[in-house]
């Protein structure tokens, strides 16, 4: 029997993400632990490691695709996984409290990330960094370094390989069951559809952000996107 790896792709995305979260959890658990108390890794191959899971998938994992699309550094990737772990792993709240030494700080922060990840760089805190510019994470309050970080819900579902209707953008779109409708299309409308179909985008999964996809469509027409959906989530003006 032949294994259809493409049919298991969404499940693979979820497994891959949870394996990456597991690595961050190990880093949290290792904080303040005597190195001699940490168990040595098993010499046998572990089928639950991210590398092993990625090799069994028909396509690159959603996390890898997103990091490549938005040019995330290794540190920014780990921060994103850290925030995803807070949403999906019930042990993260307790571990964050323990590492922070404060029962009131049961959440990811850049300060915790600095303690966990050796590849920290200050540019990740800038507004122009991919995490902030593309709103992959939300900063709940100030000061920045000790504020609670939370992954955007649409990004989280994308990393899990699950469909998600962004409540901020969905009111601006109309879903069609088929391109074959009883409404006749003008030549301009057909030309627009052809341009969208010819865009160099990955149609095998939901795009990381709907707004980024919309921006790409608009730019393909030679326009710029000055008018945005009127919601606080999208603050920066796209040009």
pLDDT (tens digit, 9 = 90+) per residue, 114-129? 999 999 999 999 999 9
71: left (phi over 0), alpha (psi -120 to 50) or beta: left
d(CA 150, CA 87): 8
Percent of the chain with pLDDT over 70: 65
pLDDT of residue 206: 45
Asked whether the beta carbons of 161 and 94 are under 8 A apart, the reply is no
pLDDT at 4 > cutoff 50: no
pLDDT of residue 184: 66
Lowest model confidence (mean pLDDT) among 29-33, 69-73, 144-148, 210-214:
210-214
Sequence-distant (6+) residues with CB within 8 A of 139 are 132, 147, 148, 149
The pLDDT tens digits of the residues spanning 48-59 come to 788 888 888 888
Asked whether the beta carbons of 152 and 130 are under 8 A apart, the reply is no
pLDDT of residue 3: 44
Asked whether the beta carbons of 124 and 60 are under 8 A apart, the reply is no
Q: Which helix (H) or strand (E) segment is 4 a member of?
A: none
Question: Model pTM?
Answer: 0.68
Beta bridge partners of 151: 137
Asked whether the beta carbons of 138 and 147 are under 8 A apart, the reply is no
């Amino acid at each position: 029997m032949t294994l259809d790896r493409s049919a298991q792709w969404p499940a693979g995305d979820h497994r891959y993400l949870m394996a990456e979260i597991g690595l961050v959890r190990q880093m949290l658990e290792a904080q303040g632990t005597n190195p001699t108390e940490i168990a040595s890794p098993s010499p046998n191959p572990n089928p639950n490691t991210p590398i092993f899971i990625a090799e069994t998938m028909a396509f690159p994992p959603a996390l890898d695709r997103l990091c490549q699309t938005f040019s995330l550094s290794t540190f920014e990737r780990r921060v994103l996984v850290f925030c995803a772990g807070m949403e999906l792993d019930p042990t993260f709240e307790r571990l964050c409290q323990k590492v922070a030494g404060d029962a009131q700080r049961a959440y990811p922060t850049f300060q915790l990330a600095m303690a966990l990840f050796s590849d920290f760089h200050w540019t990740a805190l800038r507004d122009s960094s991919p995490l902030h510019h593309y709103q992959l994470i939300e900063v709940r309050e100030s000061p920045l370094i000790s504020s609670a970080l939370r992954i955007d819900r649409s990004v989280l579902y994308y990393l899990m390989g699950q469909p998600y209707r962004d409540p901020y953008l969905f009111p601006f779109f109309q879903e069609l069951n088929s391109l074959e409708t009883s409404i006749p299309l003008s030549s301009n409308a057909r030309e627009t559809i052809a341009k969208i179909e010819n865009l160099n985008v990955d149609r095998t999964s939901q795009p990381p952000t709907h707004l980024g996809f919309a921006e790409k469509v608009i730019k393909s027409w030679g326009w710029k996107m000055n008018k945005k959906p009127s919601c606080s989530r999208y603050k920066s003006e796209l040009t």
